[in-house]
Amino acid sequence: MSTEAGTRPRIATVSLAGCFGCHMSLLDIDERILELAELVEIHKSPIVDRKTFAARCAVGLIEGGCCNAENVETLRAFRDHCDVLVSVGDCATMGGIPALRNRVPLKECLDEAYLSGPSTVNPTGRIPDDPELPLLLDRVYPCHEVVPIDYHVPGCPPPADALWAAVQALLSGEDPVLPYALLKYD
Amino acid sequence: MSDRVTFMLDGHRIEAYRSQTIMDAAIEAGVYIPRLCHVPGLDPWGSCRVCTVKVNGRPCAACIQPAMDGATVENDTDELNAWRRELVEMLFVGGNHFCMSCEKSGNCELQAMAYRLGVTAPTHPYLAPERDVDASHPDIMLDHNRCILCARCVRTSRDLDGKQVFGFVYRGAERRIAVDPGVRLKDSEADVTDRALDACPVGALLRKRQGFQVPVGGRAYDHEPIGATDGEAEGAPDGASDGESLEPAASAGREAS
C-alpha cells in the first residue's frame, strides 16, 4: 500500500462502460460507509468528482468494461496510479450487458441506432462523428483484456457485502476471497 | 473371476462392480466427482471432461473409465480442481453466457460449477461466437449461445423420451445442437413435456414463460455449492477413515457383464 504512516490509504473508483449499479451497491453498504470514510481517503471517484489523479492510490475499483477509447485511457491511468486494481461487477469482469453487441459488427450497431432503427429520426443521415466523442472499440472488452487486473468481484451488481468484504480484505493486505454466498454472477 | 473390484478414491476404499464406471461407483458410495455432461440414468458421454480424475497417475474421465481393481484414484485435489476450473472457464469464453440476464441463473450447473471452483472471471479472451436462437416453438426456446454441447438433451430425448428430437451437426468449433437439418424447433417432435428440456444443465433449452419464477435466494445453488448434498443423500464419506469400506448401495438387477 502506497500510503505514508499516519495517513489513510487512498482509493479510487470509476464507472467505465457500466450503469453505475456497482457504485450504487457500494453505497448500499449503508452505515458502514461512515466506517469506510474513516478507513480511507476517496481520492478519485464519481463521488468526489476529481478529474485526474493527483496522488498514487492503494486500491482502484473499476466498474464497467471498455467500449470506447476513453474507457481504455481511463483504465490505463488507473493501472498506472493504483497499487491494486479490482474489476467490480460483470461488465468489468466479462463485458456484461454492453458486450451483447460483440456478436454484431460495429457498423450494424451504429446503423441500427442512428440510421435504420424503427424509431430513429435522423434527417441528416449522419452517424455522430464529432472529434470530442470517444471512438467506439470494435467490441466491448472486459478490463483484464486491456490491462492486468489483480482481483475480480463479479455480480450484477456484486452484493454490498461482497464489496465491503473485498475492500476490507484489501486494506488489510489480504486476498479478497469471497465466501460462497457472495460469489455470484447475477 | 470376481464380479467385484475395489479401488481407492482419495484414500477411501470403494467397491464397485466390474464394468461399473468410476463415476457410478463414486455416486453409489456418496462421493461427489464434479461433472456437467454426466447424469445418472443416461449413457455416459465423456465430452465435458470436468470429471477428470487421475487413475494410477493418469488423467481419465471418471464417467467413462471403468473401475479397475486395486487402482488409486485422485479426485478432490488442487491440481485436478485447477484443471476443472480451466475447463469451465473455456466453456464460458467459448459461448455467450450472460448470467445477469439468463433465466437459468441460480439453477445453472455451469454457473454453479464455476462458483464451486471459485471462478471470479475467466482468464482467457472471450470468443463471442455468432450463434442463433430458435424461438420458433410456442412453448420452448433453444438458445445456442448458452449450449455447452453436453448432449444431455440428445441422450434424454433418444433414451427417455423415445423421440430423437436433438442431434449434433458440424464439427469442431462449429459443432452445435440441431433438430433435423433445415428444421426449426416448431416443426420438430419437441413438446413442452419432454424430459429433454429438464436435462439441459444451462439455459440453452428453456420452457417459455417460466423464467424468474423463483426469487434470488430460493434457487438451487444460491446457498449450497453444486454437489454439496450428493454425499448426504447417499451416505457421506465424512468420518470414514482411510481404508474404511464404503459399500455401494444395493443395486438390484445390476450384473457384471
pLDDT in tens, A44-73: 999 898 889 999 999 999 999 999 999 999
B16 lies in some domain: yes
How many Å lie between the alpha carbon of B124 and the closest alpha carbon of chain A?
A: 9
Q: Is the same domain home to B16 and B52?
A: yes
B53 lies in some domain: yes
**pLDDT at B181 (0 to 100):** 72
Q: Which of B96, B121, B222 sits opposite A154 (nearest CB)?
A: B121
Q: Is the same domain home to B63 and B83?
A: no
- All residues of chain B having their beta carbon less than 8 Å from the beta carbon of residue A62 are none
Residues 6+ apart with CB under 8 A from B155: B42, B43, B45, B199
pTM to 2 decimal places:
0.90
**pLDDT at A49 (0 to 100):** 83
Nearest chain A residue to B106 by CA distance is A186
Q: Which of A90, A103, A178 sits opposite B128 (nearest CB)?
A: A103
- ipTM computed for the complex: 0.91
Q: How many CB pairs under 8 A join A and B?
A: 65
**pLDDT at B1 (0 to 100):** 61
B46 near A CB under 8 A: no
What CATH number should be reported for the domain holding residue B180? 3.30.70.20
Q: Is the same domain home to B107 and B186?
A: yes
**pLDDT at B245 (0 to 100):** 37
Q: Answer whether B120 sits within 8 Å of A90, measured CB to CB.
A: no
Q: Is the same domain home to B83 and B161?
A: yes
The residue segments making up the domain with residue B58 are 4-76
- All residues of chain B having their beta carbon less than 8 Å from the beta carbon of residue A151 are 120
Domain ranges in chain A are 10-101+138-182
B210 near A CB under 8 A: no
Q: Answer whether B126 sits within 8 Å of A102, measured CB to CB.
A: yes
**pLDDT at B229 (0 to 100):** 83
Residues 6+ apart with CB under 8 A from B36: B48, B50, B91, B109, B110, B113, B148, B150, B201
Q: Answer whether B121 sits within 8 Å of A96, measured CB to CB.
A: no
How far apart are the C-alpha atoms of B74 and B55, rounded to whole Å?
A: 7
Q: Is the same domain home to B34 and B153?
A: no
What does each of the 257 residues of chain B score in pLDDT, given as a tens digit? Answer: 679 999 999 999 999 999 999 999 999 999 999 999 999 999 999 999 999 999 999 999 999 999 999 999 999 999 999 999 999 999 999 999 999 999 999 999 999 999 999 999 999 999 999 999 999 999 999 999 999 999 999 999 999 999 999 999 999 989 999 997 778 999 999 999 999 999 999 999 999 999 999 999 999 999 999 999 875 444 333 433 333 333 333 333 333 33
Q: Which three cell numbers stand for residue B201?
A: 444443465
A62 near B CB under 8 A: no
How far apart are the C-alpha atoms of A168 and A151, rounded to whole Å?
A: 14
Q: Answer whether B99 sits within 8 Å of A186, measured CB to CB.
A: yes
- The CATH code that applies to domain A10-101+138-182 is 3.40.50.700
Cα A149 from chain centroid?
12
How many Å lie between the alpha carbon of A10 and the closest alpha carbon of chain B?
A: 25
Q: Answer whether B111 sits within 8 Å of A153, measured CB to CB.
A: no
Q: How many domains does chain B have?
A: 2
Q: What residue ranges of chain A have pLDDT lower than 50?
A: 1-5
Q: Is the same domain home to B58 and B88?
A: no
Instruction: Tell me the CA distances in angstroms from B152 to A158, B4, B148, B168, one per residue in order.
Output: 32, 29, 10, 12
Strand stretches in chain B, DSSP E: 4-9, 12-17, 52-55, 58-61, 72-74, 133-134, 140-143, 167-169, 176-178, 205-207, 245-246
